[in-house]
Every structure is written in structure tokens, then in C-alpha cells.
Amino acid sequence: KHLEELQDVGAATHADSEPARSPSDPAAPFPRLGSDEGSEGWEFFKSAPRQEWILLGMVCVALFLVDLFGVQRLNSSFGIHIATVIFWVLVAAAFNMVIWIRFDRTLALEWCTGYLLEWILSMDNLFVFHLVFRTYKTPASQIHKAVFLGIIGAVIVRLIFFMTVSSLLSAFYWVRYPFGVLLIWSGIQAAMGDDDDNEDVKDMYVVQGCKWVLGSRLREDYDKEDSSLLVFHEDRLQFTLLALVVLVLELSDVVFALDSVSAKLAQVPQQYMSFSSTALAMFGLRAMFFIVQDLVEMFDLLKYGLCLILVFIGVQLIFAQWIHVPAGTVCLLIASIFVIFTTGSVIRRRITARELITKGLEETLEA
């Protein structure tokens, strides 16, 4: 019955022997609704029956609750973070299996393609998140909350983008240029300078600018008791630095979401499959952030690899209009940088340990 309803809104399944057709073909199965001018709007929700959207909403709410009351209360360790990523991937696999059982293999494969593509397209966003937390010296105990709020914001932002992606691309394409310059500058600065732990966050230009706009409504520190975004102080409602960090995360996510949504719709034109795979991928991607953070802390040279990745992302954003780098190439490059700098860290650690042992033996012999 559900499959017939999907066919009624202009989507039909492939037979295995049916030749593939271009997504731009009006007769293609599950065509993208709306025009090239970005007039998708509410037509976006006609890409699937109403009950499918209700089911997706219920699943997302349930997963938010699992993250809030389950995942965030787990002990923070590298093993736990790996297990968390595996859990979210298994949840996505279960959702994909439900699509296969209720509909057919073609839809399930299309959803799986969208899920994997979202991972590839959004991987570079994780390194920007690490830069934001490092820059604003966010306490480790509050990072989970910021990432959780980032998941909610990412899903909402991408829903809006899926509805109006063409209009937003033409209106906000210029944003990538200053953001790209900022990433290049941040990457070079982080590589050339030491971690300036003595620098006060409240002296940063962004914090000072927000202080100038909000005045006493901005509290220039974190709420260390409840990790709140808003606190009452002296009979006045104030924003904490955590609220500013979440805002910066969402603004940076907007820049990457513009590219990822447009790229996904080009590969997975059926909008329901494209958006639902994106929504479930957000949970695994945010959990993957903590693995990236653990690796940077475990391997001392990896921070320079992170700086190189930030510079590359910035250059890519600036020159994306003229030079197209496939998403698979970007993901492969990031993985290669991780392997090279991780291996370098291990070799450096062994050489240092060997030198210390040799030095100790020489001192013992001299004694």
C-alpha cells in the first residue's frame, strides 16, 4: 500500500533489469520535486506519504532521547566512543532494513547511498568543531551538550535547506569565501603557534563583539554547575559562553550544509530518502567527533595534521566554484593525513623512548 502511495506522488521502483536514467529526466523514478529556481517549498513533503514523515519524526525524537538520557551518561573513553559510533551505524542499518522490508531493495540501496554520502560530505565538519571547542576552551564536561544541541540544529538546518536549497545557494554562496579565509588563517596560526592556554577567552574579538551587542546579557564564562546556555544572575537573564559556542557551531554547520545538501540531491534525487538518510547520519557523525578528539590527544603530531586539514578545507571552500574536488577524494585525503601523522607520532614516541633508555644506560655506566 505504501509503495503505491509513493508511486502516486511521482515515484516508482526500478526493476533490476531496467536501465538507469538521469535524475534530471522527468520520467526518472522518484524525481526531485520543485524547479531549478528553488521553489521546492512545501512540495518537499510530497516526496513521501504523510505516515512516512510521521514515522521519521518519531524515530528522530526517540534517538534524541536515547542520546540525551543514555549516550551522554556513559563514561568518556576511547572504547566507549567507538562503541557509540557502531551503535548509531547499527541503528541506521536497522532503519535501512525496514525500508527494504516494507518497500524494496532499490529504495534501500538508494537510502544507503545517501547515508554513506552524508558521512563523506560531512567529515570535514568534525575538524571545524574541534577547532571551535579548542578556540573557546570549552570544558570537556560541556562538549557533549554542545554536540547534542548541534545534532538538533543540524537536522533542522538541513530540513530547511532541502526545502529551499537552490534559493539559498544563490543567496549565500558568498559566505564560503570569508569562512574559507578564516579556516586557512586558523589552521596556519594553530600550526605555527603553541597552545595559548593563558589567553583569556573573554579577550577574543568574537566574544568582545557579542559583549558589545548584548551588553550585560552575555556572561563571559561558562556555567560550571549546570552547563546551561541561559542563567539568571542579578535578576537578569544572561547567555553563557556555551550559548555562543553552540551558535558558532551552527553557523559553521550552515556553510557545510549548503554544499552537502546540494551534492546529495544530485546523487539521491528522491528527497525523502535523501533527507532521512541525512538525519540518521547526523547521530553517527557527531559521535565520530569524539573519536577525532581522542586521536588528536593521543598522538601529538596529529594536531599539525588537523591544521593541514583546516587549511585544505578553507582552500576548497574558496575555489569550489572553479575547482571541483570529488567528495571521495576529500575523504581519502583526510584519512591519508590521519594515517601519516599518526604513524609519525608513533615513530617519534618510540625514538624518544629509545633515546631516554640509551641516556639512562649511559648515565648508569658512567656512575
| Other C-beta atoms lying within 10 Å of the C-beta of residue 181 | 14
Contact 268, 110 (CB under 8 A): yes
Contact 41, 34 (CB under 8 A): yes
CA distance 52 to 57: 9
Q: Name the DSSP class of 274.
A: H
Amino acid making up residue 136: Y
Please list the pLDDT of the chain residue by residue as tens digits (367 residues): 443 443 343 333 333 434 444 444 433 344 444 333 333 677 888 888 889 999 999 999 999 999 989 888 888 889 999 999 999 999 999 999 999 998 888 889 889 988 998 898 888 788 888 888 988 889 888 898 898 898 888 889 888 888 886 566 666 667 778 878 878 887 887 777 655 555 677 767 777 788 787 777 888 778 887 778 888 777 778 888 888 899 989 888 887 787 778 778 777 878 899 899 999 999 999 899 999 888 888 887 888 888 888 888 888 888 877 887 776 787 788 888 888 988 998 898 888 878 777 777 767 777 6
What predicted TM-score, i.e. pTM, was given to this entire model? 0.75
CA distance 155 to 70: 20
Q: Cell numbers at residue 81, please?
A: 566512543
Side-chain half-sphere exposure of 343, counting CA atoms within 13 A? 6
CA-nearest of 133, 125, 134 to 179 is 125
Give Cβ neighbours of residue 131 (< 8 Å, ≥ 6 apart).
Answer: 183, 186, 190, 306, 310
CA distance 95 to 340: 35
Q: Can you list the positions of beta strands (E) in the chain? A: 230-232, 237-239
Give Cβ neighbours of residue 277 (< 8 Å, ≥ 6 apart).
Answer: 92, 111, 112, 113, 114, 115, 117, 118, 268
Bridge-based pairing of strands 237-239 and 230-232 is antiparallel
pLDDT for position 53:
92
CA distance 49 to 51: 6
Q: What sections of 103-224 are H helices per DSSP? A: 105-135, 140-172, 176-192, 205-214
Residue with cell 539559498: 168
Contact 147, 313 (CB under 8 A): no
Distances (CA, A) of 351 to 339, 347, 355: 18, 6, 6
Sign of the dihedral through C-alpha 282, 288, 290, 292: negative
CA distance 48 to 98: 15
pLDDT for position 263:
76
